[in-house]
Amino acid sequence: MKISIIIPAFNEEKTIHATLANLLTFHKPDDVIVVDGGSTDQTISLASEWVPVIRSQKGRAHQMNAGARRAKGDILLFLHADTLLPPQGLNHIKRAILQGHQAGRFRMRFDDRRWLLRIYETYTRFQFFSYGDQGFFVHRDLFEKLKGFREDAPFEDIDFYKRLRRLTRPVIIKNPVTTSARRFCGVGCLRQKFINITLVALYYVGFNVFNLKQRLYPEVR
């Protein structure tokens, strides 16, 4: 069983080195691909020291789909550039697949231990609260059956997981990935959570939230 790790990146010079150093040092992955969406900083040069970097149209859906097309593995793991796998993370995935699961994700913890963020972490044990920074993994055949990530969806991760659950029940690995709390710390924990809930709720009831998301969800680096 071979796992391909696909990392979409855009201006991630502050995080990409640590993410790749952690992967290559502690996890010994079979295949890692960084997909750059047009970075103007040192992301490409830093990542290239570790793994192959390919270029794609900007946007996580575009980038992750491009990475999947180049991946060599039977299992695809989509990992954000500011997210670290737990110890034995790849072995947890392999064990889940051998137990018959076709897809899944990890629970999540933040790299900042503020009490509000600790509360938000507890939500990730439930299927409904499933987002891309929790490390989605999926068997390639199922990914292709779903035709990958929708590149026209305002929330490609929510859309993908929603479609995924129609075909299988993803497993949630209790060992958490650790992801950056930079957005919550920069915007404010309560304010960012309110923005998240509002946008997702509007999306679920059918509103086109593309423009609203662009205004309320500025890039944080």
Instruction: Please write the tens of the pLDDT for every residue from 24-42.
Output: 988 989 899 999 999 999 9
Write the DSSP string, 69-124: HH---SEEEE--TTEEPPTTHHHHHHHHHHTT--EEEEEEEESS--HHHHHHHHGG
List CB contacts of 6: < 8 A, sequence separation 6 or more.
Answer: 33, 35, 64, 67, 68, 71, 76, 77, 78, 79
Q: Is the pTM of this model over 0.85?
A: yes
Q: Write down all domains in the chain, each with its CATH number in brackets.
A: 3-186 (3.90.550.10)
The predicted structure's pLDDT at residue 194: 84
What was the pLDDT predicted at 190?
A: 87
Contact between 180 and 15 (Cβ < 8 Å): yes
Q: Which residue has the higher pLDDT, 82 or 129?
A: 82
Contacts of 152 by beta carbon, 8 Å cutoff, 6+ apart: none
> CA-CA distance, 208 to 203, in Å (whole number)?
7
Residue 184 reports pLDDT greater than 90: no
As a whole number, mean pLDDT of residues 123-151 equals: 94
Using pLDDT thresholds of 50, 70 and 90, give the confidence band for residue 72. Answer: very high
Q: pLDDT grade, residue 218 (50/70/90)? A: low
Q: Over 90: is that where the pLDDT of 143 sits?
A: yes
Q: What is the pLDDT of residue 220?
A: 63
- % residues pLDDT > 70 (the chain): 95
202: pLDDT strictly greater than 90: no
The pLDDT of 185-206, averaged and rounded, is 82
